[in-house]
């Protein structure tokens, strides 16, 4: 039988109900909006109304702006599944990731703290300092004028994508498949900016800082500050981005400025970016130490104690694939197309195979090359099922180094890097 996913709240506007064909949307009106907004940041309220609220200090608990009282709580994010409201986190059902380039309204949201209230792109400033020859203070206009502006399709994946399927369960947001996306980002290369600043010979790591604040409200505590080995930071496909799919960044995707680091944990892609420091040691900022974004250096059993020094930082994300059509639970004809995406950190994907007989035999699909370095790859094939009935479509990718996506992975205490095969159950009429 198909695995049962944890129940979540799915929020979508009218135009998506027909597209998804999910009965759950009939229950949308029962959402406890008061409870949601009581804990939601002011930045979310500002995003809902599209501007600032001058008298926001007078807002009562549970306030819902009259202009949007009947509208989607996840403004500009159609059909996402809400995992947590404080901080705001939401994933995208796989069938809504069918586009080759992920639309902004389908890009997942991953927050660790409270987004900033003031996000004026005209005055936003980025500082480059630390062990550099020429410290920089750049506005977005400065970046446009001083560096080559490039547009690239770059995929991002939350390191906890797939956490919901660990057994025994682990703590944290129970992401299933949808904390991944591949949008078009416009900005300047991080490499170009660092070269202008002058990277000193003792630099080993970058440190990233954003304008979001800790959930406690304490300005002295950072919600997240991660970094990259300098060798990774100097690659050609990492952007300091100020546009997403040809428009300004969405407020929940880091407006007005963010890093985009494809193929590595999306936590390294700092949102609301204000500062990049170059350090002579591995960065030890918020969520860089302990077990955060780290896994044991060797296989362990659930509950086994592991010394902190045996946890290693997760760098490149593992090989993985996703079925985006048909949707899980769909009814299809005897003949249908099957399609999706695949990716593998800093590598490319060599092939994607699917099985319709529970892994007994495999069918190679047609696999496109990536649009550019750092983009996911699209795949498709046409299938003719032998009989009517229940089938599962299993997908597995093999990357350029010959590493194949597994059926199952070793358990780890934080529920990271789950790249098990995607399984989609369908009924053939």
pLDDT digits (tens, 9 = 90+) for 358-367: 999 999 999 9
Question: Are residues 176 and 298 located together in one domain of the fold?
Answer: yes
Q: Phi and psi of 57, rounded to 5°?
A: -65, -20
- Residue 2: pLDDT over 60: no
- Identify whether the C-beta of residue 28 lies closer than 8 Å to the C-beta of residue 16: no
Question: Are residues 155 and 294 located together in one domain of the fold?
Answer: yes
Question: Are residues 385 and 411 located together in one domain of the fold?
Answer: yes
Reported as half-sphere exposure (CB side, CA atoms, 13 A), residue 148 has a value of 10
- Residue 422: pLDDT over 80: yes
Predicted pLDDT of residue 84:
87
Q: What is the pLDDT of residues 123-159, one digit of tens each?
A: 999 999 999 999 999 999 999 999 999 999 999 999 9
Q: How confident is the model at residue 71 (pLDDT cuts 50, 70, 90)?
A: very low
Predicted pLDDT of residue 6:
38
Question: Are residues 308 and 335 located together in one domain of the fold?
Answer: no
Q: How confident is the model at residue 43 (pLDDT cuts 50, 70, 90)?
A: low
Q: What is the pLDDT of residues 388-416, one digit of tens each?
A: 999 999 999 999 999 999 999 999 999 99
Q: In what order do the strands lie in the sheet with 273-279?
A: 136-139, 125-130, 273-279, 205-210
Among 298, 313, 328, identify where a domain stops.
313
pLDDT over 70, % of the chain:
84
Domain assignment present for residue 112? The answer is no
Question: Are residues 32 and 72 located together in one domain of the fold?
Answer: yes
Whose CA is closest to 154, among 410, 409, 343? Answer: 343
Q: How confident is the model at residue 347 (pLDDT cuts 50, 70, 90)?
A: very high
Q: How confident is the model at residue 217 (pLDDT cuts 50, 70, 90)?
A: confident
Domain assignment present for residue 104? The answer is no
Among 313, 328, 361, identify where a domain stops.
313
Question: Are residues 360 and 306 located together in one domain of the fold?
Answer: no
Question: Are residues 48 and 64 located together in one domain of the fold?
Answer: yes
Domain assignment present for residue 17? The answer is yes
The DSSP result for 337-381, as a single string, is EEEEEEEBTTB-EEEEEEESSTTSS-EEPEEPPPSSTT--EEEEE
Q: Which residue has the higher pLDDT, 69 or 217?
A: 217
Predicted pLDDT of residue 179:
98
Question: Are residues 183 and 305 located together in one domain of the fold?
Answer: yes
For strands 363-364 and 349-355, give the pairing.
antiparallel
Q: Which CATH number covers residue 399?
A: 2.60.40.650
Domain assignment present for residue 46? The answer is yes
Whose CA is closest to 312, among 300, 320, 327, 322? Answer: 300
The DSSP result for 67-82, as a single string, is GGTTS-SSTT-TTPEE
Non-local (6+) Cβ contacts of 406 within 8 A are: 396, 419, 420, 421
Domain assignment present for residue 109? The answer is no
Among 313, 329, 355, identify where a domain stops.
313
Domain assignment present for residue 100? The answer is no
Q: How confident is the model at residue 315 (pLDDT cuts 50, 70, 90)?
A: very high
- Identify whether the C-beta of residue 94 lies closer than 8 Å to the C-beta of residue 191: no
- Residue 91: pLDDT over 60: yes
Predicted pLDDT of residue 118:
83
Question: Are residues 236 and 342 located together in one domain of the fold?
Answer: no
Q: How many Cβ atoms are within 10 Å of 84's Cβ, its own excluded?
A: 16
Question: Are residues 139 and 257 located together in one domain of the fold?
Answer: yes
Question: Are residues 78 and 138 located together in one domain of the fold?
Answer: no
Predicted pLDDT of residue 418:
98
Q: Which residue has the higher pLDDT, 216 or 366?
A: 366
Predicted pLDDT of residue 58:
77
pTM (predicted TM-score): 0.85
| Cα angle 213-103-344, degrees, rounded to a multiple of 5 | 80
pLDDT over 90, % of the chain:
78
Q: What integer is the mean pLDDT of 60-72? A: 52
Report for 19-28, 48-57, 84-93, 404-413: range of highest mean pLDDT:
404-413
Predicted pLDDT of residue 221:
95
405 vs 393: CA distance, rounded Å: 15
The mean predicted confidence, pLDDT, of the chain is 88
Question: Are residues 396 and 344 located together in one domain of the fold?
Answer: yes
The count of domains in the chain is 3
Domain assignment present for residue 402? The answer is yes
Q: Which CATH number covers residue 283?
A: 3.90.420.10
Q: What is the pLDDT of residues 168-195, one digit of tens each?
A: 999 999 999 999 999 999 999 999 999 9
Structural domain containing residue 358: 320-428
Domain assignment present for residue 18? The answer is yes
404 vs 350: CA distance, rounded Å: 10
Non-local (6+) Cβ contacts of 83 within 8 A are: 8, 89, 90, 91, 173, 174, 175
What number of H helices and E strands is found in the chain?
6, 24
Predicted pLDDT of residue 381:
98
């Amino acid at each position: 039988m198909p695995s049962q996913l944890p129940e979540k709240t799915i929020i979508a506007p009218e135009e998506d109900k027909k597209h998804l064909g999910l009965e759950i949307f009939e229950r949308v009106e029962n959402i406890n909006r008061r409870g949601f907004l009581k804990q939601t940041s002011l930045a979310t309220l500002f995003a809902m109304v599209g501007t600032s609220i001058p008298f926001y200090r007078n807002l009562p608990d549970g306030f819902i702006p009259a202009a949007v009282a009947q509208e989607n709580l996840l403004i500009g994010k159609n059909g996402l599944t809400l995992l947590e409201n404080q901080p705001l986190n939401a994933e995208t059902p796989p069938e809504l990731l069918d586009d080759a380039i992920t639309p902004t309204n389908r890009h997942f949201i991953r927050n660790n703290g409270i987004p900033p209230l003031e996000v004026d792109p005209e005055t936003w400033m980025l500082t480059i300092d630390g062990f550099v020859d020429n410290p920089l203070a750049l506005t977005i206009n400065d970046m446009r004028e001083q560096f080559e502006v490039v547009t690239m399709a770059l995929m991002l994946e939350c390191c906890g994508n797939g956490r919901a399927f660990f057994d025994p369960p682990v703590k944290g947001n129970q992401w299933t498949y949808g904390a991944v996306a591949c949008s078009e980002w416009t900005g300047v290369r991080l490499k170009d900016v660092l070269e202008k600043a002058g990277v000193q010979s003792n630099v080993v790591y970058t440190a990233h800082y954003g304008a979001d604040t800790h959930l406690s409200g304490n300005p002295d505590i950072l919600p997240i500050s991660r970094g990259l080995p300098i060798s990774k930071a100097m690659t050609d496909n990492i952007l300091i981005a100020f546009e997403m799919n040809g428009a300004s960044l969405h407020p929940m995707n880091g407006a007005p400025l963010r890093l985009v680091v494809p193929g590595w944990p999306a936590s390294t892609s700092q949102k609301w970016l204000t500062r990049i420091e170059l350090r002579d040691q591995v960065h030890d900022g918020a969520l860089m130490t302990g077990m955060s974004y780290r896994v044991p250096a060797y296989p362990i059993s659930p509950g086994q104690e592991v010394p902190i020094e045996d946890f290693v930082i997760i760098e490149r994300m593992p090989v993985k694939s996703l079925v985006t059509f048909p949707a899980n639970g769909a009814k299809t004809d005897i003949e249908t197309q099957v399609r999706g995406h695949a990716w593998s950190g800093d590598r490319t994907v060599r092939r994607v195979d699917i099985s319709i007989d529970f892994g007994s035999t495999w069918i190679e699909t047609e696999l496109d090359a990536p649009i550019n370095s750092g983009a996911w790859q699209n795949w498709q094939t046409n299938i003719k099922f032998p009989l009517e009935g229940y089938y599962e479509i299993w997908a597995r990718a093999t990357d350029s180094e010959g590493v194949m996506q597994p059926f199952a992975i070793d358990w780890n205490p934080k529920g990271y890097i789950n790249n098990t095969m995607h399984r989609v159950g369908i009924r053939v009429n």
